[in-house]
Amino acid sequence: MQIKTLKIIVFVLCLYPLARMGWHIPTEVDPVAFLLHSSGRWALTGLLITLCVSPLRQLTGRGELLKLRRMLGLYAFFYAVLHFCIYLGLDRQLDFSTIAHDIIKRPYITVGFTALLLLIPLAVTSTDRMMRRLKRNWGRLHQLIYPIAILGVLHFWWLVKRDVTVPAIYAVLLALLLLWRVWRWYKPRWQQARLPGRQKPAE
């Protein structure tokens, strides 16, 4: 499958959650809670899918998969912004004193808001022009996706409070994705350290 065709398919699939939310609103008892939950969950799902791209490329040898990462990351940012806007406008009805109190006093909102703020520079610098301009600093900056994903899982976990089965699944998936990266980083260094020429001579 050509990368252009794959991009179109992924683009349409990324719009599915938005269409689903619009379709189900009339049937929901609490539409605002439904929109908040759905948008937040899809933002977190988008982050984890974005983090899956590199392992899939390494396992399959399909380098073109990396060309999907930007789109997936931007969609994750879109659903995160949508999640915050729903909270801001529909849930809290632009009551900024209540919003400020929530951000300061409620830990799950604090970590969620922090994750959103950290996502902004990643979205702003996602263009090819910014990649060329920032050079190596671009890669360093975009490593923020790891703490962002951790904060996102923590936000979901603290929000649920009782049955944490679904947040726990997200936490396990994120842990596996992070462990894979640690292993990929550590493996060549471990192998190099074991080479005979790297061993210290006997005294």
Report residue 71 as tokens: 């789109």
Counting residues of the chain whose pLDDT is more than 90, the rounded percentage is 80
**Angle between helix 3-24 and helix 69-86 axes, rounded to 10 deg:** 20
Surface-to-core class of residue 80, CB atoms within 10 Å of its CB (0-12 exposed, 13-18 middle, 19+ buried): buried
- Is 191 within a domain? no
155-168 pLDDT, tens digit per residue, is 999 998 788 999 99
With 0.75 as the threshold, say if the pTM is over it: yes
What is the tally of structural domains in the chain?
1
- Exposure string (b/e) for 128-162, b if CB count within 10 Å is 16 or more? eeeeeeeeeeeeeebeebeebbbbbbbbbbbbeee
- Is 202 within a domain? no
- Is 201 within a domain? no
Instruction: Give how far the C-alpha of residue 118 lies from the chain's centroid of Cα atoms, to the nearest Å.
Output: 11
Q: What is the pLDDT of residue 203?
A: 41
50-84 pLDDT, tens digit per residue, is 999 999 998 888 888 888 999 999 999 999 999 99
- Is 195 within a domain? no
- Is 113 within a domain? yes
Segments forming the whole domain that contains residue 135: 3-182
- Is 21 within a domain? yes
Write down the mean pLDDT value for the chain: 91
Q: Is the pLDDT of residue 174 over 90?
A: yes
- Is 190 within a domain? no
Q: What is the pLDDT of residue 121?
A: 97
